[in-house]
Amino acid sequence: MLDTSGKGLQTFLHAIEQGRFAPLLRALAGVVVLLTVALIYLFVKFTGFDSPAAMDQAQIARSLASGEGFSTKYIRPMALWQMNRAEKSVAGEHFPDLNHAPLWPTLNVLPLTLVRGSWEMGPQDIVYAGDRALAAFSILLFLLAVGVAFFVARRLFDTQVAFIACLLILVTDLLWQYAVSGLPQIFLILLLLVTSWAIVRAMDEQHDAPQAPPLKKWLLQLGIGLGFGLLTLSHWLAAWLFFGYLFFAFFFFRPRILPLAALLAFALALVPWGLRNYAVSGTPFGIALYPLGTESNLLLRSLEPDFSDLFYGFKMKLRLGLLEQAGLLFSFLGLNLAAGMFFASLFHPFKRLTAARFRWCVLAMWVAATIGMAAYGPVTKAVSDLQLHAIFIPLFAFYGLAFLLVLWNRLGFTHSLMRLGFNALLVVVAALPLLFTLFAGNARAVNWPPYIPPYIGILGDWYKPKEILCSDMPWAVAWYANRKCLLLPDSPRTMVQISDYAVLGSDIRGLYLTPVSGDAKFLSEIVFGTYKQWGGLILRQPQSLQGFPLKTVRLLPIDGQVILYSDYDRWSSSNKQP
């Protein structure tokens, strides 16, 4: 018979609210919210890459997926100088990359292979399929990193702190921005958390099992060294974290020679790539060791770089770099209150010995990374390829949250609802930048200036695969047009020299100038600075074409702010224009 008393319905509702269905429904609701945020970021807010490093590493990944090896279509004159100095042959077809760490481009081969049919940029493709595929892959890595963060935080503190900390990480807008930036920072977070778990495990062994078999301690150190090796192979600056760890490990672990195992594993992880670089360039790290800072650096653009000024005033650069980072630190930590409270937590005596001491390891790694960023900077934007403060957000949030909860407990508010309200308040405050991003309208459809992908991709129709261009943003030409492109050299004379001698296997057929140089400071950069030799061509002065081999000119949108100097009229006969 049918139950008309309503008891069955009440039982069902109780099961949903408090019974066996409650955890499942809460988890399902969380997954729905998380997927909604991910989809909004990926398909509504995402306007493509706007980082030179992201585009550069993406086109290297596409070369790997194409079977061309770890080669690049973005050619730096300084790389030519490096290879010539070492008397290495310059590959005309597949030019080896000498700048980037190999692991992140190698991982990106997978998502790019899945969209192989969309590699060619279409005239209506406002957002390139490769951009979106790499962003989706990075979002998956972000979610995986949050899962690892839960286990690290639970090992340091407890399940409650771990759960709330993961919520704080998930609502940090800066981390979502990195997830769709194409940069390796999200992968660095994942590797750092895995390595941190190994460090905490090794510290537990030191505290709780001092008589444990030595082999286990050595194996843990080898794993830690391998973790830092993978971090460094994902981003060269991450090597500074290992230096910070070694400083901490020397004072903490016994016997003192124990960290040598980590050093050995770290070195062995780097040896294969060092041998590859040495074979093609004569140095283990190519040109990556030079603190070049920005893509407009004159050293990068020269066939005969002058290093006399490289370390001149280095102390001043280091000091200014540290001051800049200090002033922007909270924004570099994603405006996350819990992460910012890490520094206050250094003054609290946590009861668990491993948790109390591991924070000094985190601090040592962060200080070392900060010095590295200052040396190789400048770091002036929250989303930047050289910004490594963001990868410490999860570890900082663990300690900052634990400290805030200790302060709350000391206030004496013991009611569970009040504690729940306090936890919710922390999450809401951390989520404010994310909420503003999600509910604010898009300011622009493309990252202009200086990027409009279809107007860059059209160069792939106008120029054949083996033809070479020169540009002030070769990373974008290499990625969106899939054409080999030389970074704008220090002077037209250098470009003509590279072209006439067919150093890259062919002469240069086009010069593509964009707001990268056009929007540079007029006096300090165009007239007297890094672009002074190109001032006439940047400012569209006809007399500059006298003696210049590329005399056919085409202004491109928007408002003629992009100009193409070509060997002949390549666009009139094209049937595929945006």
What pTM does this model have? Answer: 0.93
CA distance 1 to 372: 75
- The H or E element spanning position 417 is helix 416-439
Helix (H, G, I), strand (E, B) or coil at 65: helix
- What parts of the chain have a pLDDT lower than 50? 1-2, 574-578
Cα–Cα separations (whole angstroms), residue 553 to 510, 516, 560: 10, 18, 11
CA distance 576 to 277: 40
Residue 322 burial (CB count, 10 A): 16
CA distance 450 to 244: 38
User: What pLDDT is attached to residue 2?
Assistant: 46
β-strands 485-487, 468-471: how paired?
parallel
Residue type, 405: L
Residue 507 burial (CB count, 10 A): 16
Q: Tell the burial category of 186 from Cβ atoms under 10 Å away from its Cβ (0-12, 13-18, 19+).
A: buried
Cα–Cα separations (whole angstroms), residue 238 to 292, 375, 383, 471: 16, 13, 16, 30
> Where exactly are the structural domains of the chain?
10-45, 132-287+315-436, 453-566
Cα–Cα separations (whole angstroms), residue 38 to 110, 179, 430: 20, 10, 17
CA distance 115 to 79: 31
User: What pLDDT is attached to residue 11?
Assistant: 61
Q: What does the pLDDT look like over 129-142, one tens digit per residue?
A: 999 999 999 999 99
Residue with tokens 């050619």: 75
Residue 543 burial (CB count, 10 A): 6
